[in-house]
Amino acid sequence: MGLYLAVFSGDEVELDGVEVGGYDDFGVLRNSIRVKLEGGQGGSRFPILMMHSDCDGEWTASQCKALLAEISVIQAELRKLPPVPLSGWQANVAREFAIKPMNLEQCFFDVDGEPLLPRIASLAQLANQKGLSVLFQ
């Protein structure tokens, strides 16, 4: 089962969405952040991203504003770290789209090969601008 993040308008029209991959893939991203950037203390620096359950719910428009700030810092810091080997579907997608991560941030992408953190930031920005939420599905 995969994790899909999306922003819907008030009349239930999907404005944008990103297929993250499996829940475990989102967990790998958050575990990397916890270990590499939070000293093992999940949520100590990035509570909006790290403390939200990945199985349901939403990031509200106001949380999305804070999430954007968190993602900006996370991206900058992950770019300073070396990449890790890819496996499973990520390795296949990397081959298909000629993705060759040069740093740890580039090791995280969605099922379409798009960089994951910028895609989540794009959803958060849209939700914040329109006063909507990013929904976990």
Where do the domains of the chain lie?
A: 2-6+16-40+52-136
pLDDT single digits (tens) 57-71: 899 999 999 999 999
Q: Which tens digit of pLDDT belongs to each residue from 7-19?
A: 999 888 999 999 9
Distance CA 41, CA 91 (A): 29
At residue 1, the pLDDT reads: 59
Cα gap 79→74, rounded to integer Å? 8
Structure token pair of residue 97 = 């789209």
